[in-house]
Structure 1
């Protein structure tokens, strides 16, 4: 008997509404929900491929324990938790709780309970060391927001946007920069309504082909381009001068800092016409309502925090903040809405506070702890090193920068626990691999959607939206799989650690004491998270297809009396950093560069692909893909001709750190001198021979000591200099 259910995909933060078919508990098909008012039936290949993943023969259906000879022995979840708890207790007894660290990757979105219960466990354990990918993937956004100071109401954003400035992102692949739902449809509707679209990207993406104005620079010049645009706005007196005069500080210091960045000079550096920079600035500053967003292009390269800071400065000079009396269309639904007030607050601590890393001295940041230096904490000599890591929802070996150092660090641990439905590259190094339920087998609600609305990002829908889904499929018969939160609950019970769970952003709701002896249900815990939400969970459940929840309406309040704070568009550290960028650009222009016939002088840039989500969906790759299952090295056809290469030839991409195998693909949308590859692919070096099936790890090309963002310890991930070396092998088709 076929049963049909409404649900939500959780293969990425988009959380597309779906209609699924289940036969005897087995997921057999997934399609978009055409009755959903926001997504209108939209899904991507990741979501539609979920029956393949849920039922794949390589899926882990029982935990694994690594034996001394490297083989893995199936064991029960209960036995695994018994042994892991005992080993953790011994490590804490000998070395203290700080010897234990945890990491959650981007796939924690599959279950809304994983992150809060994992954090509750680490807090009960007494360890401050919980890391996540937010300090590797666009960490500059929250750091820059802290340096600028806050307008205590949201940006105008998607609501009736007259202009959008999108830098180094491609919504068709990443679902970022335009509202989730049907991104292409929304963009078409706004463009037909007169919105002007400015795209800055070294590649002529699907987005760039629809742009009003496309600037196609060489990578690494985003800071200079934004500084030049700000200079145009200030020199020509554009933007919202009344707003700036009343609420913004540091304008004259900013004017002096950007003065050298003339469009003519920056245009020569970036390889774009100066008049196009001027045109972009004028369009953005005069169009009316609008927003700007930077993606992983600038986020992975030099000075990502400064890029994000200048984006916010440009938004602020143009007055793109909601004012008193305006309705907040993107208010959270399942969690409590903050008080929105039309007033500024000054800068707040952005980096270098709280717990300090003992290997590097870096502190906590507004984006979180510096994941880029966690390997150094494991490699420390002496008693202070991290000796145990619990990794959940991620694949550090394939996803973290500097793969060689990461593998060395993980190998040195006394205990590595990986929670993973696959024997991923990290699972192959783990002492224990816990097998989790997959997301159609668990209940969920769109808490990540609310979180995206509350963070300084451009994920999420255009309007307040929510959906709840029960579990709609069952694990295969005989499987020993558990929800990730159940693992942390099981450890806490065995170790005598009391866990507390708090409602999200509802300070008036008392934290809930989780019963360790009588395990609560997932539904009970979801109710705890939703306590105090703007819309009651029971009301959300009444709409199985998901719904927009405009009521109760949220408005921006009038400012409080006596507020004198100002947002700072010339933070001292950012001005200093901008001067350093000027000096670096001048030196680079004097030395020249670019691709050479011997294969040197190329720059590696990263690109998203829709069938994967960071390191998830790579192995096993879904069937019937229009694109290869590996991550090709894309080069401009003229670069291929210069190197004597043809489409499908095998090469080695080599950096100063290491080399990886690749297969070339001609891509006329790239600027010359660039090599575009997707990140998150591949395994450890010994699996390079499997490249045609699983790709290669670009993280191996990266050097953890080459910092692109010193505030958060993020290594340079994009715009890395590489050399192309031809391999004497047959072409791959």
Structure 2
């Protein structure tokens, strides 16, 4: 269709607004309240235009374009209206541009300059508001607020946190948090979306006067170093320091960030950063030079290999390091003759790897995160998505608001349950029973996808027989889920045109984790919910580069690109590339390394197993007992304190490379600030160490390493830095002409036919008894990350969540005489910790929850090291404990 704007013929599609048409054709119309992808409000009226035949000016952001419409955007009438509006806005607040931290980046300031408008026209009294500063991140200055409503839309429609809204009426109207409380007292999660979209200086970062203004900084596009969502961000720097962080509007996160990504990159400048190599002398770690430290590492590792053999050496790669660094790290291990290389995927998604390879032939997420918009039903289980993957959780919440049916299965009340159509609340450790129950209902009511089963799977009859006993009544007894809710969930999932399963560590971190993931794969195949838009099964990656670390071969049984170490063809390709002879014997997993007396030395890059491993006291003792321990990290972590040599590394903000997020999307990482002191990027350290160990390296920059990765891992064959300069590519991408693969298994599975593998419930390795009557589960909170190595160096995050706590049900607390906030001791068969009690109904009776970020009250002192027999992953999510008031 066509309309005319300023005598220019413009084409458009029905549904577009005048503003959208003008923008698409390069015609400027000013905006203040307009926020893309949100409901237009026309609140500010600065975007008014003249439409021939209309009696009044119309707000172009809200007015739909129409065939034959004639529009003027800069007539005298329009310009007079805009100037009047600008004068009213300027006179309504304290717009002291000379002192405002938004100066140079303020839309109101820019428009006032563009249209030659000043203050004082109406002589209105200036509002008297004292800026709100009672939180560590965002300052609210109501005297500068123009009531455009962008912050409200950002909070309610984009992030769907619903923490702020308009309050009061008339001249008293203001933006309020909660019942007009402060942000710190409200439900605000400090994602900073409001801060990023504010067009004036009403919202600014805390301590803005101590930072450079945005217009004075240099932006560096990079990838967030926290969770597996892999948000793209523009890090604004000046004088070698990070000043501001903005979400990249053209990234797959569409400009959104969470509190950690936006406000918790200050760890890079923390005074406790490692700045020089450390060597243990007379029991103390003391500074040393790089040559001395690397020579010592090489001589000790070579001597131990000579004395005890290659399998005496263990290597832990890192989900926090780049693909290039993990590739070099596993290359170093394998060229030294051992496949004893693993990383933290062993503690999070090892069961996904085992199960999905058995069922599909590939263990990776099947669909990109953006594809959730195409799902009619979203089943989230074992994932506290709002706290562990907050930006992705906003996609889920938006999908639910737009009509998708959200089903949440979790023993604990999580943020998504507030948005769910149905909440299934199973008892911990009973997931296989309710998943089998869903399939029983689907089969008994004939809701399975017979065509998909016949064409693309095998083993369906064995599955049908195995599911006969899982009636809704049986599942209700076994799990506590009401039979009617189970039936409803089964019908919703099976009848959906497209349904997706999202899961995380609440499913995988069990002794039966592999079997539970197999049950989810069975459910997806039974209904044909694989290989289509909106239909898939997606394990959400917990750390920023868990996916990439696996892709690079940071696992004991597979090479880069997932060729098995005992496969002659895969091994031969790597041997030819490296010009080295390699071992065909699969190595020890991370958990096996800590149990094996054969292991005499470890090289740990960017991991903190002294806190992250189950039964952490045993892990610490095992590390201390090694003949030689090398730790490469950015801080002197709990693990590094036990080391013989500590090598200072660069953080993700100080080096170049790539991360691969939970989409399988390979994205650039770029250095924004310099390394502190003598610290070096991990790839440079490995590049220096390799020749000392007889391992060829010789790389000048990470781009060269990626070129080698493309040869070593066929799934990365078409990926290079040029192609991912602005936007990442989703593997598999076998050649330069390939666009990437957002959806896996469209026509076939890597193993050919998908395989149904029946599984049955198994009791946790440890169940409550009279001595230890509570079931403990562990996990994360929004404000902290993993073992706290980075986030606990952030002053703002520590102000919000300063210490460890235990969530316990109100009835349990009353029975034990425990008041909210009281300190208690939580004890298991392995140890005890002292924490603050948080009395809540988020957990059911008999259940407890403790986050694992806090070294002074390490939850993993309590957790059970019992392993899944296939994946060798510990049972973090269920152990028996007792609570003693202090």
TM-score, normalized by the shorter chain, greater than 0.5: yes
Higher RCO (C-alpha under 8 Å, 6+ residues apart): 1
Q: CA deviation at 1:535?
A: 5.7
Q: Is the 8 A contact 2:351 2:513 kept in 1?
A: yes
CA RMSD of aligned residues (A): 3.6
Call closer, same or farther: CA 1:618–1:720 in 2, change over 3 Å. Answer: farther
Call closer, same or farther: CA 1:154–1:206 in 2, change over 3 Å. Answer: closer
Residues 161-240 of structure 1: pairs in structure 2 closer than 5 A: 161-175=375-389, 182-240=391-449
Tell me how far apart the structure 2 counterparts of residues 364 and 304 of structure 1 sit (CA, whole Å): 25
Instruction: Work out which of the two has the higher radius of gyration on C-alpha atoms and give 1 or 2.
Output: 2
Q: Is the 8 A contact 1:64 1:72 kept in 2?
A: yes
Report the equivalent of 2:329.
118
Call closer, same or farther: CA 1:25–1:352 in 2, change over 3 Å. Answer: closer
One of 448, 452, 463 as aligned partner of 2:660: 448
Q: Does 1:297 align with 2:506?
A: yes
One of 242, 245, 266 as aligned partner of 2:475: 266
Q: CA deviation at 1:5?
A: 2.7
Cα displacement string for residues 205-250 of structure 1 (whole angstroms, at most 9, x for unaligned residues): 1111111111112211111111111111111111211111233222
Cα displacement string for residues 408-429 of structure 1 (whole angstroms, at most 9, x for unaligned residues): 2112211100111111110110
Aligned residue for 1:620, secondary structure, equals: helix
Tell me how far apart the structure 2 counterparts of residues 395 and 309 of structure 1 sit (CA, whole Å): 30
Tell me how far apart the structure 1 counterparts of residues 484 and 565 of structure 2 sit (CA, whole Å): 40
Cα displacement string for residues 685-725 of structure 1 (whole angstroms, at most 9, x for unaligned residues): xxxxxx3xxxx112211343x33x11133332112111011
Report the equivalent of 2:487.
278
Report the equivalent of 1:487.
685
Call closer, same or farther: CA 1:255–1:547 in 2, change over 3 Å. Answer: closer
Call closer, same or farther: CA 1:539–1:103 in 2, change over 3 Å. Answer: closer
Q: CA deviation at 1:152?
A: 12
Tell me how far apart the structure 1 counterparts of residues 585 and 847 of structure 2 sit (CA, whole Å): 34
Q: CA deviation at 1:675?
A: 0.8
Q: Is the 8 A contact 2:667 2:724 kept in 1?
A: yes
Report the equivalent of 1:370.
589
Report the equivalent of 1:179.
none
Q: Is the 8 A contact 2:531 2:745 kept in 1?
A: no
Tell me how far apart the structure 2 counterparts of residues 411 and 557 of structure 1 sit (CA, whole Å): 46
Call closer, same or farther: CA 1:710–1:430 in 2, change over 3 Å. Answer: same
One of 260, 268, 290 as aligned partner of 1:77: 290
Q: Is the 8 A contact 2:348 2:873 kept in 1?
A: no
Q: How many pairs are equivalent?
A: 620
Q: Normalising by structure 2, what TM-score?
A: 0.65
Residues 188-587 of structure 1: pairs in structure 2 closer than 5 A: 188-322=397-531, 369-377=588-596, 380=597, 385-445=598-658, 447-449=659-661, 452-454=662-664, 467-476=667-676, 479-498=677-696, 514-515=697-698, 519-529=699-709, 533-534=717-718, 536-541=720-725, 543=726, 553=739, 566-570=753-757, 574-575=758-759, 578=760, 581=762, 584=763
Cα displacement string for residues 513-535 of structure 1 (whole angstroms, at most 9, x for unaligned residues): x43xxx51234324444576546
Aligned residue for 2:408, secondary structure, equals: strand
Report the equivalent of 1:613.
785
Cα displacement string for residues 164-191 of structure 1 (whole angstroms, at most 9, x for unaligned residues): 1111212111218xxxxx4244223322
Tell me how far apart the structure 1 counterparts of residues 296 and 768 of structure 2 sit (CA, whole Å): 55
Report the equivalent of 2:803.
630
Call closer, same or farther: CA 1:470–1:210 in 2, change over 3 Å. Answer: same
Q: Does 1:29 align with 2:264?
A: no
Q: CA deviation at 1:469?
A: 4.4
The unaligned stretches of length 5 or more in structure 2 are 1-215, 540-546, 552-561, 568-583
Q: CA deviation at 1:193?
A: 3.5
Tell me how far apart the structure 2 counterparts of residues 268 and 152 of structure 1 sit (CA, whole Å): 32
Q: Is the 8 A contact 1:151 1:567 kept in 2?
A: no
Aligned residue for 2:233, secondary structure, equals: strand
Residues 142-153 of structure 1: pairs in structure 2 closer than 5 A: 142-150=353-361
Call closer, same or farther: CA 1:521–1:553 in 2, change over 3 Å. Answer: closer
Aligned residue for 1:81, secondary structure, equals: helix
Q: CA deviation at 1:353?
A: 8.3
Tell me how far apart the structure 1 counterparts of residues 831 and 362 of structure 2 sit (CA, whole Å): 45
Call closer, same or farther: CA 1:387–1:37 in 2, change over 3 Å. Answer: closer
Tell me how far apart the structure 1 counterparts of residues 642 and 364 of structure 2 sit (CA, whole Å): 46
Q: Does 1:640 align with 2:640?
A: no
One of 84, 99, 104 as aligned partner of 2:312: 99
Q: Does 1:701 align with 2:862?
A: yes
